[in-house]
Structure 1
């Protein structure tokens, strides 16, 4: 049943849900960084599964709100695009955590924490960008978009350094494969944050 508040309200529930989604993504990135800082114990995967379940629950709520709401604060297509982009962040992070737990015996000598810290930083910027959607202020959103792009550029630079190490001839085939596999997953997670930030920036660009 539709209510007048649902039909003609300001649509703040969409901003609330999108912020909740961004926080879930950041929590997942934070959990990964914490896990990779402490490598001497068996990885716990519950935090990643919980974050993804929260993300899925929020996505379903947004989909239902789009059905129930006559008016939305921003275009429906933009809400759907941002929801999808945010959902992909913890999904990619959980992929890393699951595989890391299976290959840990081969990865103990590799320090993934610095890259995970960059991912956590990128996810934190995304949270700030989503919070700014309510205000539709272009300048602060542009500053955050530039910060996110800078993080992505630094991640790309580190990947080039990694490839130099991989093809230096000093590593065995298994080490080469694992380094490439896991660092590319982390890089893709940062890319997912960047994609979500671009959607948020574009929304403000259209509506400011």
Structure 2
């Protein structure tokens, strides 16, 4: 016999798909951090391609599920917004990896690993936030949102230090250009994590 309990129990697959997308974003960030810690080797890009492929698959499944499902556990617009925000994280990371692989010989003395570590932390917090959506509890989500904001603030502080290095006069024009370009890509990737976190936090605010 059909019941309201059965009807409102449907749609839980969206949580799983969003978690898969967040995990793919974290995997891309982990791969980037590992690549930059091993800067003496030629970068391998397979891990980034795989993460992007998994992200695209999750995104496509979310889009199809929204078409097929009558019931969703949270508003459709929120699912679409979070799915889109998560999709952009590994895309930005892959952009860095692809360009870094081409410019490695010009970046031998630049250590990107500390910033990549912050990106990995940010992506990890995003995954925790997405997993919290199943519970729609405000307090743990607020704590994670504060943690993500703290990471973003620290990344902004490091960017100011970067600009001091750029304009110090110690670098030639090519080094200045590359340093600025690559750190800004990393900064934007952290911003993408922050954007996804904001969407997740706002979902809980609306539904708690």
TM-score, length of structure 2 as denominator length: 0.96
Shift of 1:170: 1.1
Equivalent position of 1:182 in the other structure:
182
Q: SS where residue 168 of structure 2 aligns? A: coil
Q: After superposition, what is the alpha-carbon deviation per residue over 1:142-171, rounded to whole angstroms, capped at 9, x for unaligned?
A: 000000000000000000010011011111
Q: In 1, Cα distance between the equivalents of 2:202 and 2:53? A: 27
Question: What runs of 5+ residues in structure 1 fail to find an aligned partner?
Answer: none
Q: Is 1:159 the equivalent of 2:159?
A: yes
Residues 115-194 of structure 1: matches in 2 within 5 Å?
115-194=115-194
Equivalent position of 1:88 in the other structure:
88
Equivalent position of 2:14 in the other structure:
14
Question: What runs of 5+ residues in structure 2 fail to find an aligned partner?
Answer: none
Shift of 1:9: 3.9
Note if contact 1:7-1:70 (Cα within 8 Å) is conserved in structure 2. no
Note if contact 1:6-1:69 (Cα within 8 Å) is conserved in structure 2. no
Q: After superposition, what is the alpha-carbon deviation per residue over 1:113-157, rounded to whole angstroms, capped at 9, x for unaligned?
A: 000000000000000000000000000000000000000000000
Q: SS where residue 103 of structure 1 aligns? A: helix
Note if contact 2:11-2:73 (Cα within 8 Å) is conserved in structure 1. yes
Q: SS where residue 43 of structure 2 aligns? A: coil
What's the RMSD between the two structures over aligned residues?
1.3
Shift of 1:76: 0.3
Q: In 2, Cα distance between the equivalents of 1:27 and 1:6? A: 35
Q: After superposition, what is the alpha-carbon deviation per residue over 1:61-107, rounded to whole angstroms, capped at 9, x for unaligned?
A: 00010011001000000000000000000000000000000000000
Note if contact 1:7-1:68 (Cα within 8 Å) is conserved in structure 2. no
Note if contact 2:8-2:73 (Cα within 8 Å) is conserved in structure 1. no
TM-score, length of structure 1 as denominator length: 0.96
